[in-house]
Amino acid sequence: MIRRNVGSKRPEVLKSLLVGSALAMLPALAQAASPEPKGFRDWMAGCDNLKSCTALSVPSDAVDTTAYLRLERPAGPDGASKLVLRLRGEWQKPPLAVALKLDGVAFPAGGKAMPVTADADLASVAFQPAETAAFIEAARKATKLSVAAPGVLAEVSLSGAVAALLWIDEQQGRLNTPSALIRKGSVGTAPAAPALPVVTAKPASGTLSEKNGKALATALRKQIKQRDPDQCEDGEMTTKHDQAWPLDGKRSLVSLTCSLGAYNASNAFWIVENGAVASARPVEFPQNDDSEKNVLINGEFEPKTGRIDYFAKGRGIGDCGAAGGYAWTGTSFALTGFSMMGECRGIGSDDWITLFRSEVRTAK
């Protein structure tokens, strides 16, 4: 389950940054990485293992146009901030440009319209470096960003923005240095970013026919049922999705579908050696926060790459939840990536806060 870790916030505005009613119903929604995103009133922020950090405004609920700001900054002395405004609406024709105001005052200075790029129902406004710096400075006192275009009206709250950016400065070691976003100093430099972890994925090898794979999954399901009758739902709709793949000449990976919902399926993964289901061992996915470490939501294994990806949806449109992946190294599954979003507010998965990343190479 996605855990709650929201820092200081207004409960009436950000009722549950990392837990919502839709999310709470999923027993294995997220594979938690540390640290989790923190809440700052109407904003949230998080950093990954490379100290690359993201700040996000939390869009208002029940509005015609979803609007939010996303600032991302990599670690290190040369880490440059990238600020983008996202707009999502049910328009037939997205706006070509928008007018922005900070507390009623035109932004940028002079009131020039900001160009928009659009992809289906998502429109984006990318801020140039000078505009980003000016916006951060103005956000110290401003309370909201207003967005206007023909047929489009939206607002972004800036309550908590400065606290979120200050927290990022702290995480990246920028406080009181010239490169800080908020608390600047005249001397000092930010430490270099940690090295990017390299995970070598081993593609599946060996042979296992579809018929034999189904038979192996059926035998394992029967064995698991004897161990714990309540561990995995047993019915026609779940069993027909069971799968098995060879990992090498001796070991096979078996996925049992333990529950099915409208848009989520929980998959339990097991490793079986030489077909001996009695000694099958559950896969231990690193940093899996579920009580059963071998369970992923919507987990799919790709034998050609040796990788498992999952996408746990907090609701059907996939605007909240957790996503990530693991790679088979020949001995175990290693974490390759993880991102999450605890608020179901129209934020697409590409904009979720990344908490772990790596470089994945394929073994020769």
What percentage of residues in the chain have a pLDDT greater than 90?
78
Among 8-12, 55-59, 147-151, 311-315, the least confident range: 8-12
Contacts of 331 (CB under 8 A, 6+ apart): none
- pLDDT for 227 beyond 70: yes
Q: How confident is the model at residue 8 (pLDDT cuts 50, 70, 90)?
A: very low
Among 17-26, 92-101, 176-185, 193-202, the least confident range: 17-26
C-alpha torsion sign, points 235, 236, 238, 244: positive
Q: How confident is the model at residue 236 (pLDDT cuts 50, 70, 90)?
A: confident
Give the integer Cα–Cα distance in Å for 186 and 174: 11
- pLDDT for 34 beyond 70: no
β-strand partners of 125: 85
Rounded to an integer, the average pLDDT of 328-332 is: 96
Instruction: Read off the DSSP letter of residue 2.
Output: P
Give the integer Cα–Cα distance in Å for 159 and 144: 8
Contacts of 9 (CB under 8 A, 6+ apart): 17, 39, 40, 41, 160
C-alpha torsion sign, points 268, 269, 273, 274: positive
Give the integer Cα–Cα distance in Å for 182 and 81: 13
Average pLDDT over the chain, rounded to an integer: 89
Among 94-98, 114-118, 232-236, the least confident range: 232-236
- pLDDT for 247 beyond 80: yes
76: left (phi over 0), alpha (psi -120 to 50) or beta: left
Give the integer Cα–Cα distance in Å for 248 and 290: 28
β-strand partners of 99: 148
> What local confidence, expressed as pLDDT, does residue 259 receive?
92
Among 2-6, 62-66, 174-178, 225-229, the least confident range: 2-6
Cβ atoms 22, 344 nearer than 8 A: yes
Give the integer Cα–Cα distance in Å for 137 and 72: 16
- pLDDT for 6 beyond 60: no
Cβ atoms 44, 17 nearer than 8 A: yes
> What local confidence, expressed as pLDDT, does residue 111 receive?
87
C-alpha angle with apex 99: 95 to 105, nearest 5 degrees? 165
Among 251, 240, 236, residue whose Cα is nearest residue 214: 240
Domains of the chain, CATH where assigned: 51-171 (2.60.40), 198-362 (no CATH)
pTM score of the predicted model: 0.88
168 phi and psi, to 5 degrees?
-65, -45
Give CA torsion, residues 164, 165, 170, 174, to 10 deg: 180
